[in-house]
Structure 1
């Protein structure tokens, strides 16, 4: 393990018999899974870690590939077969983990995976719409305004409430701390520089997979879910009515119901 990954923070929730490993979204931390874990406390023991530059984990030093470094951090916790769950950027990390250690992943749940390269290949017109929505974020970043960049990003991808001015300063600071990893991951997410979609790369991912999106999320997310479903050997896609991009946080009961139904045959 690289020195960069020393001090990665992880925690566990619940005391149920089913072992779950979860990877949070950008600008959040492992505690984002608390609501879901509480709903499923009798069913699962959920372990989650803070990605680099998030929560109690160290800052990313800008060296190496951010997605792959976090996958490496997650793999260090993958010591027995688990149900692997990831949200947003964390879902792309979970996918890389499943590619690397398929024998230790009993099932794979990808919630709103932001692997935009799928849409670039399958539905470029739909991707163009979200790229247009992102231009104010890009402009704020290029202007060096970190707070405005984070505020606009949160407006596009966050839960909607509370609004930025109403968030505690500590939370705003934590989100701004993590924000630089997002523009740095453009090549990974949009251009597939890690070759996740290369011919044969997803062949190891043979475990049952569930792709979950929110009906109110940007349409590109449904396109990504459909595209990944076609590329994986045992996958299906579902949508949560009335939910947006932050559905594991805003709709923990609905997410729990989907997971129980997905895992039931196992």
Structure 2
């Protein structure tokens, strides 16, 4: 389990005085933060890494817990107090990092965190509606059709444009490469097998936290944001009009603006 973390790839953007560590979403890579980093280039130095099975990092070998392994990879980069930002699955990794090293996290921003176990407890009917919407994805995976699974998943959670046939073949291939980690993480995301929501587990997360969502994202995401906000000691929520699940990629200017406001207040 340790060896596969040796080749984790990371990069930095910007030359600002504020250190930021960011964790990307599933099927993407560290370069997904480039747009946001360019908007804030004079304000922040943003470091990001490729999760296992993504970008230039090695493939996950199927051993160990995928979320916790990526949190361990991120913690290796967490050597000074930073503003920690995560998106989607990467937001759940960032949360685990904050739980493990709260003294090195000045603030925590979770953008569209996909910890569906929150909604399973707080809003089961909303989660059930999302699960029904996901049935074609599950059926394609059960049938062994990785390309169709990835295409349908991208249709539900991706930016909407460009459409799958219009994506460059290397990009489609990289997304298909990463796709298996998503069904493999069902227990982590839906059943909370890592006990993120267990009594007392989130007590170390006392730094200011922001839960950000896109107003056009599936309704379950707002429920998760509200649920985590209630469970964290010092948290607030923000929603971005006209944005969906991929808001830090599709709306870097709006993301930069709510980060500036949050950090100024924090």
Report the Cα distance in structure 2 between the residues aligned to 1:22 and 1:100, rounded to whole angstroms: 16
Partner of 1:21: helix, strand, or coil?
A: strand
Correspondence list, 1:178-217, <5 A:
178-217=178-217
Runs of 4+ in structure 1 deviating by more than 6 angstroms, as ranges, are: none
State the Cα distance separating 1:226 from its structure 2 match: 0.1
User: Aligned pair 1:222/2:222, yes or no?
Assistant: yes
1:11 is matched with which residue?
11
Structure 2, unpaired ranges of 5+? none
2:115 aligned with 1:115: yes
Distance 1:2 1:170 in 2: 28
Map residues 41-52 of structure 1 onto 2, 5 A cutoff.
41-52=41-52
Instruction: Name the CA distance, whole Å, in 2 between partners of 1:36 and 1:201.
Output: 31
In structure 1, the gaps of 5 or more residues are none
SS in 2 for 1:175: helix
Query: Matched residues in 2 for 1:214 and 1:167: separation?
Result: 23
Deviations 1:232-254 (A, max 9, x none): 00000110001000000000000
1:87 aligned residue: 87
Root mean square deviation of aligned Cα: 0.6
Match of 2:124 in 1: 124
Counterpart in the other structure of 1:252: 252
Displacement after TM superposition at 1:24 (Å): 0.1
SS at match of 1:58: coil
Q: Which secondary structure does the structure 1 equivalent of 2:134 belong to?
A: helix
**d(CA) in 2 for partners of 1:61 and 1:144?**
19
Using the TM superposition, give the Cα deviation of residue 2 of structure 1 relative to its aligned residue in structure 2, in angstroms: 1.0
Residue 130 of structure 1: how far off its partner (Å):
0.6
Residue aligning to 2:103: 103
Counterpart-to-counterpart distance in 1, 2:196 and 2:46: 26
**Partner Cα distance (1:223, 1:248) in 2:** 19
Aligned-residue offset at 1:265: 3.0
Instruction: Give the aligned partner of residue 21 of structure 1.
Output: 21
Quote the Cα distance in structure 2 between the aligned partners of 1:125 and 1:264: 37
Does 2:139 align with 1:139? yes
* 1:261 to 2:261 alignment: yes
TM-score relative to the length of structure 1: 0.99
Partner of 1:73: 73
Cα distance per residue 1:120-164 (max 9 Å; x no partner): 000000000110011000000000000000000000000000000
Once the two structures are superposed, residues 84-109 of structure 1 have per-residue CA deviations (whole angstroms, 9 ceiling, x without a partner) of 00000000000000000000000000
The 2-side partners of 1:183 and 1:109 are apart by 25
Q: Give 1:4 deviation, angstroms.
A: 1.6
